[in-house]
């Protein structure tokens, strides 16, 4: 995903910018670039397709020297990955801009600028913003000539922001405003790094930890000016000066460090509120999902979708199973979910207007990738059963630029950040959030009360997850009941059945306890025979429409002497008893409950594994990104 670094200092900034770009590499990108204002008052730029190392090589040939500069890693949305489309983009060689996000109305603005004589170098939406700001800067400049005032970059940026729709974080510098950088954010993150006699901007604090540990997290609609004269000035969306707190970064200087946590898995479980907020960032506008989140052409494609096929492996497959309930209930779309290793060897019949969706943390999962290629090949083979081939393909993935995203028509990136623990945690819950965004975007009725309520609930989700994490202590105690056991059973109904499956998978993966999950209604069709005092039974029981039925299933377990552990909404009337322990999970919109209920089950597996002394982060026989079949 795109990354921004900008620096205004009293020393040469090339090294700071380059190191910042390297620190953003984990997010994935396809090209990189940098521009600085040199001592002659000219903008000098280097860009390269591919890795930051390729840019570094160019900088070795032709160093950029200056005390003010901006840099970028690009993950293309508008225009192919290429040097000419890489940021920074320039206007008249006087203004330079880096931008994360999508300008939704760039086409009419581009036509307007072309009519005005502007010749565009790149295919990007970003270049439009460069020329708009430059034009506003010059007009202001000439209007003020008599008053002797020079161009006002801040005012020019503000005037331009009023004209653009979409999501952005940007940093701009102008050769005629030589000691200023202006930044702005709406829908994409931007932080100010506070230094000593030098200040910075970045899309992620991690990019600046080598120069500062003090950050201002800009708020939605904020515009910031860094300058020698006034330091850091922030203006809120209404244009008024705003005070924003300075935070000290407490987690140490490494994305790949466990920080205060004993294991990466625990750290990643605790990161979920933040990474879910990041996954929502830039994708919600008011009370609806921004269609541009899925890339150019998504709306036209989504409007034709009549059914959905989801293909994935392991934990991602469970996310797909939850999405089936959502897509059927909210969007009325028949949905099939299948593990990739089965799908790829099946004679798949594809009904007309089917959207093919793949889910993978790494985007390199071999079976999922093969399934995507197979799905695409089916487009050419209209079979004797009337299969039509897929309408389009969408990848939901955590690594931009990965094979899955490159080979799909559309991609929606989760923002889980690097996931080091082999057992997936935050990648799963961010996939669920992405799938809810997809479900809302596929509904034929948009902007109704249900969408408004769900968007509201999504915005509140990070706070609910924070409360769910507060269950850590009681769950650690509960885990003692599992440590000596050899088997466990997980039960759920509806959207919680896949969560029961995921809970069982986590326990298997890291504690090596054999665990099975069943839809609770299936209990008496077989697995009830296994239930005795040695078989702990975990049930996920939010307060939804299937609750009464689940309660009856739980009675069936208790009647056979089984030991029950129930994760339930506070409103669920279940009283703890001898063989029944109840843990309350914070309430949330029932459709989002699967996301919230995942956290206590992750914590349960984690604590059981710690008690058993297994290798939590690298369980035996398992690997992170499964790139072999």
What residues line the site for ligand HGA (CB under 6 A)?
A: 1-2, 74-79, 99-102, 124-126
* Beta carbon of residue 127, minimum distance to ligand HGA (angstroms, whole number): 9
Q: What percent of the chain is helix, strand and coil (3-state, nearest 5)?
A: 40, 25, 40
Q: Peptide bond preceding 80: is omega within 30 degrees of 0, i.e. cis?
A: no
Buried b (16+ CB within 10 A) or exposed e, 462-496: bebbeebbebbeebbebbeebeebeebbbbbbbbb
- Please identify, using beta-carbon distances, which residue of 126 and 425 lies nearer to ligand HGA: 126
H helix intervals, 68-125: 106-115
What is the CB-side half-sphere exposure of residue 608 using CA atoms within 13 A? Answer: 29
Least distance in Å: CB of 3 to ligand HGA? 8
User: Closer to ligand HGA at the Cβ: 64 or 411?
Assistant: 411
**Nearer Cβ to ligand HGA (78/607):** 78
Distance CA 347, CA 267 (A): 42
Which one, of 425, 306, 298, 412, lies nearest residue 359 by Cα? 412
Residues paired with 101 in a beta bridge? 168
Pick between residue 1 and residue 266 the one whose CB is nearest to ligand HGA.
1
- Catalytic annotation, pick one of 58, 376, 612, 624: 624
Query: CA-to-CA distance for 217 and 197, rounded, in angstroms?
Result: 19
Assess whether 2 carries a catalytic annotation.
yes
Question: Which residue lies nearer to ligand HGA by CB, 172 or 572?
Answer: 172
Q: For ligand HGA, give the closer residue by CB, 79 or 474.
A: 79
Q: Which one, of 87, 69, 70, 68, lies nearest residue 78 by Cα? A: 87
Q: How far is the CB of 242 from ligand HGA (least distance, A)?
A: 25
User: C-beta of 76: minimal distance to ligand HGA in Å?
Assistant: 5
Q: In this complex, which beta carbon is closest to ligand HGA, that of residue 100 or of residue 495?
A: 100
SS3 call for 46: strand
Q: Does residue 397 carry a catalytic annotation?
A: no
Output phi, psi for 240, to 5 deg.
-80, 145
The sign of the dihedral angle between the CA atoms of 259, 32, 136, 64 is positive
Q: Which among 2, 22, 186, 313 is annotated as catalytic?
A: 2
CB of 85 to ligand HGA, least distance (A): 6
Rounded least distance, CB 171 to ligand HGA, Å: 13
- Which helix (H) or strand (E) segment is 17 a member of? helix 14-23
Residue 91 structure tokens: 């206007």
Within 10 Å of residue 578's Cβ, how many Cβ atoms?
A: 7
Contact 14, 63 (CB under 8 A): yes
CB of 614 to ligand HGA, least distance (A): 38
b/e map of 557-576 (b: 16 or more CB within 10 Å)? Answer: bbebebbbbbbbbeebebee
Residue nearest to ligand HGA (CB): 2
* Smallest separation, CB 611 to ligand HGA (Å): 42
Residue 309 and residue 194: Cα distance in Å, rounded? 48
Identify which of residues 127 and 502 has a Cβ nearer to ligand HGA in the complex. Answer: 127
Catalytic residues: 2, 624
């Amino acid at each position: 995903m795109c990354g921004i670094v900008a620096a205004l200092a009293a020393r040469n900034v090339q090294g700071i910018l380059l190191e910042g770009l390297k620190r953003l590499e984990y997010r994935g990108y396809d090209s990189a670039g940098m521009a600085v204002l040199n001592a002659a008052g000219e903008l000098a730029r280097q860009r390269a397709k591919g890795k930051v190392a390729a840019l570094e090589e160019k900088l070795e040939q032709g160093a950029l020297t200056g005390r003010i500069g901006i840099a970028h890693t690009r993950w293309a949305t508008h225009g192919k990955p290429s040097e000419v489309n890489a940021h920074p983009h320039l206007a008249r060689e006087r203004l330079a801009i880096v931008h994360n996000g999508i300008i939704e109305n760039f086409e009419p603005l581009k036509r307007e600028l072309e009519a005005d004589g502007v010749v565009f170098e790149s295919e990007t939406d970003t270049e439009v913003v460069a020329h708009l700001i430059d034009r506003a800067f010059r007009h202001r400049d000439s209007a003020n000539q008599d008053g002797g005032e020079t161009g006002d970059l801040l005012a020019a940026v503000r005037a331009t922001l009023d004209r653009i729709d979409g999501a952005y974080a940007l940093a701009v510098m102008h050769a005629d405003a030589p000691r200023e950088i202006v930044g702005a954010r709406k829908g994409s993150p931007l932080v100010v790094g506070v230094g000593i006699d030098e200040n910075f901007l970045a899309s992620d604090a991690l990019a600046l930890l080598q120069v500062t540990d003090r950050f201002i997290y800009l708020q939605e609609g904020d515009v910031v000016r860094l300058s020698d004269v006034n330091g850091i000035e922030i203006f809120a969306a209404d244009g008024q000066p705003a005070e924003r707190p300075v935070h000290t970064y407490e987690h140490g200087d490494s994305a790949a460090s466990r920080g205060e946590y004993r294991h990466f898995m625990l750290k990643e479980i605790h990161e979920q509120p933040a990474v879910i907020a990041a996954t929502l960032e830039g994708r919600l506008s008011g009370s609806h999902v921004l269609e541009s989140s899925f890339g150019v052409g998504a709306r036209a494609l989504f409007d034709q979708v009549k059914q959905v096929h989801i293909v994935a492996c392991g934990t991602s497959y469970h996310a797909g199973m939850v999405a089936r309930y959502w897509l059927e209930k909210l969007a009325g779309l028949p949905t099939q979910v299948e593990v990739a290793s089965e799908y790829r060897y099946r004679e798949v019949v594809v009904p007309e207007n089917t959207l093919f969706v793949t889910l993978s943390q790494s985007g390199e999962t071999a079976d999922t990738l093969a399934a995507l290629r197979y799905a695409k090949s089916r487009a050419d083979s209209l079979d004797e059963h009337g299969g039509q081939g897929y309408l389009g393909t969408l990848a939901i993935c955590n690594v931009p630029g990965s094979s899955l995203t490159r080979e799909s028509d559309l991609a929606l990136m989760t923002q889980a950040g690097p996931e080091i623990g082999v057992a997936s945690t935050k990648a799963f819950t961010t996939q669920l959030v992405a799938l809810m965004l997809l479900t809302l975007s596929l509904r034929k009725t948009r902007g109704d009360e249900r969408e408004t309520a769900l968007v509201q609930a999504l915005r509140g989700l990070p706070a609910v997850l924070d409360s769910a994490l507060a269950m850590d202590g009681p769950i650690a105690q509960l885990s003692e009941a599992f440590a000596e056991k050899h088997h466990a059973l997980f039960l759920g109904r509806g959207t919680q059945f896949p969560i029961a499956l995921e809970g069982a998978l986590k326990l298997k993966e890291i504690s090596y306890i054999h665990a099975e999950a069943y839809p609770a209604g299936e209990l008496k069709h077989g697995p009830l025979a296994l239930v005795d005092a040695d078989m702990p039974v975990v049930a996920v029981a939010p307060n939804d429409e299937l609750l009464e039925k689940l309660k009856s299933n739980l009675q069936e377990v208790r009647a056979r002497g089984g030991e029950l552990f129930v994760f339930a909404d506070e409103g669920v009337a279940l009283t703890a008893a001898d063989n029944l322990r109840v843990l309350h999970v914070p309430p949330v919109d029932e459709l989002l409950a699967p996301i919230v209920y995942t956290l206590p089950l992750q914590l349960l597996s984690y604590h059981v594994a710690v008690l058993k002394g297994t290798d939590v982060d690298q369980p035996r026989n398992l690997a992170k990104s499964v790139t072999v079949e």
